[in-house]
Amino acid sequence: MAPRFETARFHSESGPTSLFTRVRHILREPARLKAHGAHVIERLQQRNAPVEELTAFDPYLWELISADVRTDTGRWVKSTWRVPADGRDWWVVIGLGNVLVTVIQVDPWRRGKGERVITEGPLYAHVEHVNQNLMSS
């Protein structure tokens, strides 16, 4: 099933600043992530993931890596966070409503700055503008 909308990825180190300010504002409180749905449950089992640790979100201890936005609206839809758990490094992808989208075990050196990350251009400017407006309203 194809997604209902296209998304674009931005990295916390290259911005836009307003997008990451907004993500940190929305996800500012520790929370229990909801791990529902066949996909995420299957991934947790396949990857022998420490479920209790990876669903105990803490923005003070977890590192924000990237954020994905809808290309049409410029609004945030999911973010990826790095957390050490069970002696391994994990990327935990969190969607709207504190929903766990997936977990990926990663090497400690991995930074998430692949070619998909947008660092400039019209979409970058649009996302910056949209999120500035959302944060000031």
Q: Which of 110, 111, 64, 102 is nearest to 83 (CA)?
A: 64
Residue 2 has pLDDT above 60, yes or no: no
For 106-137, how does the pLDDT look when each residue is reduced to its tens digit (9 = 90+)?
Answer: 988 888 787 889 999 999 999 999 999 999 98
Percent of the residues in the chain that have a pLDDT greater than 70, as a whole number: 98
- Give residue 25's pLDDT band: very low, low, confident or very high (50, 70, 90): very high
Are 27 and 79 in contact by the 8 Å Cβ rule? The answer is yes
Reading the block at residue 127, the tokens are 């996302």
Reading the block at residue 1, the tokens are 């099933």
Distances (CA, A) of 84 to 5, 36, 74, 89, 107: 31, 22, 30, 4, 11
- Give residue 84's pLDDT band: very low, low, confident or very high (50, 70, 90): very high
pLDDT at 3: 61
Beta strand 31-32 with 76-85 is unpaired
**How confident is the model over 34-43, as a mean pLDDT?**
89
Residue with the larger pLDDT of the pair 93 and 115: 93
Reading the block at residue 21, the tokens are 């300010």
pLDDT at 1: 53
Beta bridge partners of 84: 89
